[in-house]
Amino acid sequence: MLRMVARLAGSLMLMALGIASVQAQNFVLKPFSEVRVPEIAGLTAAEQSKALGRGVNFGGTLEAPSEGAWGGRLSAELFEAVRQGGFQTIRLPVRFSSHAALSEPYKLDEAFMKRVDFAINNALSRGLTIIIDFHHYHEMDGDPLEAEEVAIGVEKSRERFLAIWEQLARRYQSLPNDRVLFEIYNEPHGKTEEVWNDLLAQALAVIRKTNPHRFLIVDPAEWSTAWGLEKLALPPDDRRLIVTIHNYAPFKFTMQGASWIEGSRPWLGTSCCEKAQIEEIRTPLDMAVEWGKKNDRPIFVGEFGSNSLAYYPDRVTYTRIMREEIEKRGMSWAYWDFASHEFGPWDPTTKSWLPELHEALVPKT
């Protein structure tokens, strides 16, 4: 009921402002060979990380087994809503593993890649930065395969992962290094830190052959949590790397009743945010800041958010506190996600904001 009231309130507010429906402007999308977006000369990784500012994840679109399978589809209207909503960056999770051949040279499907092209062009045309995030590769992580996935062996899956990155790096090498970022792999898990560090080093080497100056985002093991930072190994001479963490604390609040997390039903009704829960929020952020200072690496909080089964006013409070705590520490962020009914501040059905949640992310003052 509260969610319905919030949606109605948001619609009325936008109607009063004369923007009840965000209209996609008629941007001309050029071929990549004609894209001319000036880079900022001499930008450091720390400056680039700060420039990411406030962002959102386009979860549930290209990270699904196929676009639309989870209800989300990319549209110019979504990109325009992000721009008008006061965000600077889009993190685009993509399930490349479901769209490449299973045998060498592991060629990416061109029709699918045109959807990635569409996303990049729509972001750049609106002055937004976009992060291309390699999201999901179940066999490589040792996870159970989904219905459409075919096993080729763990070693072959790693070979395929590197071949996919070689293609992506070559395809997008002419795009501005500070506006199109690559995130090597989302939430590495199911392997030792040593195995991940080795695969990461190989991926960096592959990408740097064609993109020596692109800013890259690197996740630690242990599901990209701050607890994985201490064992993350980075090449000391590569200074165009940004390290990311994800922070879903307090977990029993943010993930209560989540269908993808076994045992989360008893968490339904968990409230937020008491003093102990705020400390849960702060702890991984402080760990990340300390590690970043010690290792001279900037930190980007690539995911945080709460699902819609939580009490809506508590979600607003949690989101505001998390955003404030991240920004107090000088870090940029991307909220998970933007336009799903489970997490997002944008309602894809009514095409309007959940105003309180939106303001918790982008305050008016």
Condensed to tens digits (0 to 9), the pLDDT of residues 70-87 reads 888 999 999 999 999 999
Pairing of strands 241-246, 216-218: parallel
User: Would 37 be classed as within a structural domain?
Assistant: no
Instruction: Produce one character per residue of 167-200: b if its CB has 16 or more CB atoms within 10 Å, e if not.
Output: bbbebbbebbbbbbbbbbbbbbbebebeebbebb
CATH number at residue 315: 3.20.20.80
Inter-residue contact 162 to 170 (CB < 8 Å)? no
> Into how many domains does the chain fold?
1
Q: Is the dihedral of CA 145, 150, 151, 155 positive or negative?
A: negative
User: Would 17 be classed as within a structural domain?
Assistant: no
Segments in the chain forming alpha helices (H): 2-16, 45-52, 76-84, 110-125, 138-141, 154-171, 193-210, 221-224, 251-254, 275-295, 312-328, 355-361
Question: What residue numbers bound the domain in which 51 lies?
Answer: 2-8+44-361
What integer pLDDT is reported at residue 147 of this predicted model?
83
Inter-residue contact 225 to 287 (CB < 8 Å)? no
User: Would 38 be classed as within a structural domain?
Assistant: no
Residue at 31: amino acid letter: P
User: Would 25 be classed as within a structural domain?
Assistant: no
- Vertex 50: Cα angle to 47 and 56 (nearest 5): 140
What integer pLDDT is reported at residue 35 of this predicted model?
58
Q: How far apart are CA 254 and CA 342, in angstroms?
A: 11
Among the ranges given (42-46, 145-149, 170-174, 204-208), the one the predictor scored with the smallest mean pLDDT: 145-149
10: pLDDT strictly greater than 60: no
Find out whether the peptide bond into 298 is cis, omega within 30 degrees of 0.
no
Q: Is the dihedral of CA 352, 62, 264, 55 positive or negative?
A: negative
9: pLDDT strictly greater than 60: no
User: Would 13 be classed as within a structural domain?
Assistant: no
Condensed to tens digits (0 to 9), the pLDDT of residues 254-292 reads 999 998 899 999 999 999 999 999 999 999 999 999 999
Nearest Cα to 136, choosing from 173, 66, 78, 188?
A: 188
User: Would 269 be classed as within a structural domain?
Assistant: yes
Q: Is the dihedral of CA 80, 85, 88, 89 positive or negative?
A: negative
Residue at 73: amino acid letter: R
What integer pLDDT is reported at residue 32 of this predicted model?
58
DSSP letter for 229, please: G
Q: How far apart are CA 100 and CA 116, in angstroms?
A: 14
Condensed to tens digits (0 to 9), the pLDDT of residues 224-242 reads 999 999 999 999 999 999 9
What integer pLDDT is reported at residue 286 of this predicted model?
99
User: Would 320 be classed as within a structural domain?
Assistant: yes
User: Would 275 be classed as within a structural domain?
Assistant: yes
Higher pLDDT, 8 or 47: 47
φ, ψ of residue 241 in degrees (nearest 5): -115, 140
pTM score of the predicted model: 0.90
What integer pLDDT is reported at residue 302 of this predicted model?
99
Condensed to tens digits (0 to 9), the pLDDT of residues 80-126 reads 999 999 999 999 999 999 999 999 999 999 999 999 999 999 999 99
Burial group, residue 119, by CB count within 10 angstroms (0-12, 13-18, 19+)? buried
